[in-house]
Amino acid sequence: MSGAGWNVIRCSACSTCHGHRKTGRSCPHCGQKLPSDAEIVATVATAAELRIEVALANTPEELRDMLRKRLEKNDALFQPEEQISFKGLPKLLLDAKDEHGIVTRKSIIPILEKSGNSLDVQDLIDLAESQGLLVRLNTDCWQLLE
């Protein structure tokens, strides 16, 4: 048993988990007095971790994996690589356009290569269209919206 951080404790009376600095004296859910040897489900260092662990501990076992995956997936949304490609996109298209604001695959490819971005030229165009940065004029010709 650790004195530092937070413990996730399971109440033996109502089976609900809660967080406590040490072992706690009574259950905040049902008021039952907790024995000094109450079940400690997990020990964490921060209040933020505690919130996740309590949520997981109070989730039915068969749903826990799904919840944990969802929490991990949320983290994956904030990969720095993705932010760079979004941020650099308008600048890249500005460099690739001609004097009429027209871009083609041929005009984008050298700029894309120079930027060191690993995006495929078609993926880049799809992305720009979905962001409302480009409007297709014909099969290989897009108008840049500024």
# of chain residues touching Zn ion (CB under 5 A): 7
Burial of 82 (0-12, 13-18, 19+ CB in 10 A): exposed
Query: Of the two residues 59 and 143, which places its CB atom closer to Zn ion in the complex?
Result: 59
Alpha-carbon span 51 to 8, nearest angstrom: 9
Nearer to Zn ion, 13 or 67 (CB): 13
DSSP per-residue letters across 78-107:
T-HHHHHHHHHHHHHHHHH--TTSEE-HHH
Give CA 111 to chain center in angstroms: 30
Q: Contacts from 83-88 at CB under 8 Å and sequence distance 24+?
A: 84/117, 85/117, 85/119, 85/127, 86/131, 88/115, 88/117
Could you tell me the smallest distance in angstroms from the CB atom of residue 25 to Zn ion? 12
**Binding string, residues 15-54; x marks residues near Zn ion by CB under 5 A:** ------------x-xx-x----------------------
* Residue number, 29 or 64, with CB nearest to Zn ion: 29
Binding pattern to Zn ion, positions 79-108, x when CB under 5 A?
------------------------------
Q: Which stretch binds Zn ion (CB under 5 A): 3-11, 99-107, 111-119, 121-129?
A: 3-11
8 lies in the binding site for Zn ion (CB under 5 A):
no
The rounded distance, in Å, linking the Cα atoms of 133 and 54 is 44
Q: Which of 14, 47, 63, 66 binds Zn ion (CB under 5 A)?
A: 14
Can you give the binding site for Zn ion, defined by CB under 5 A? 11, 13-14, 27, 29-30, 32
